[in-house]
A and B are shown apart, each in its own frame.
Chain A
């Protein structure tokens, strides 16, 4: 197997584990709120979270097939990476992997956005009226 295929395979497996964690979370939220069908999951996947949204979507579809979660929709936000300079506190969106502060040229900064991997909301079918 070529390295490219191998690394793609590994990456997919990593997203599969995350997909399962998200589905578990959705299932738990549904059970806690009356057991209605899960309609939609809101996700925040930062651009440097290490997660490829397409691979994650694929994983969620594959893992939810033939389960009560099949057919759920995903709403994905993809925040851009943002750094804050540790010297002058300027906030900036770095180009590529260069993280030098555009204001003071300081080379140390901390990531304040773009590394998120969050479940933001879960939408559950309302229970039928009594």
Chain B
């Protein structure tokens, strides 16, 4: 029995992502893809991170939004190369946008590439950007059941950052339950707790970057 299939083995995006992954591996660039709802603090986390990193660090950033260059302007203050990707109506970044944005950057001169995805917990999950790790942010002004409502991203993210912990006394967010929910969909998931306005709890996140960077160098 012959079954006609006529299907692509990989989606177009997967093919492009494989190409990106090979480039990151060749040039030893740690690529991190940050995903969260709008307003969870992706830009703030990156701002604080850039302020702490030595000025000599070879870091670059891509930041995605539907419109405006606002995030790129915020991130550019630290002096590292930043590029805004405005997606128009598209609710996620895809591999072709990353390839286009990287076209005039020399990856050999970059050690860490942060990609701040469009604020959205759903669509960015299914677009491989060739990154080493997806990271999900959850802020305490959201519901602690978010990992249960949007399990896909929590299941594949390597690290979960619970942000805005300085607001815990003022909101009904149940931190322990949030952690339990995240580990329910992703047993053993690494979770760190931060406040980007009060600059608290960033050390485990910086240590994570350091560790992943060392792994990329050793590969």
Chain A residues within 8 Å of B, Cβ to Cβ: 7, 10, 14, 17-18, 21-22, 25, 29, 33-34, 36, 42-43, 49-50, 116-126
Q: Which residues of A contact B18 (CB under 8 A)?
A: 14, 17, 50
Chain B residues within 8 Å of A, Cβ to Cβ: 1-10, 15, 18-19, 22, 25-26
- The complex places the Cα of A21 from the Cα of B7 at a distance, in Å, of 12
A-B contact pairs, 22 of them (CB 8 A): A7-B26, A21-B9, A22-B9, A25-B7, A25-B9, A50-B18, A50-B19, A117-B8, A117-B15, A118-B6, A118-B7, A119-B5, A119-B6, A119-B7, A121-B4, A121-B5, A121-B6, A122-B2, A122-B3, A123-B3, A125-B1, A126-B1
Report the minimal beta-carbon distance from B12 to chain A, rounded to whole angstroms.
9
Q: Which residues of A contact B8 (CB under 8 A)?
A: 116-118
Report the minimal beta-carbon distance from B10 to chain A, rounded to whole angstroms.
6
- The complex places the Cα of A116 from the Cα of B18 at a distance, in Å, of 15
Q: Which residues of A contact B10 (CB under 8 A)?
A: 18, 21, 117
Are A33 and B3 closer than 8 Å at their CB atoms? Answer: yes
- The complex places the Cα of A33 from the Cα of B19 at a distance, in Å, of 34
Are B15 and A122 closer than 8 Å at their CB atoms? Answer: no
- Given A14-B18, A14-B22, A50-B15, A122 and B9 touching (CB < 8 A)? no
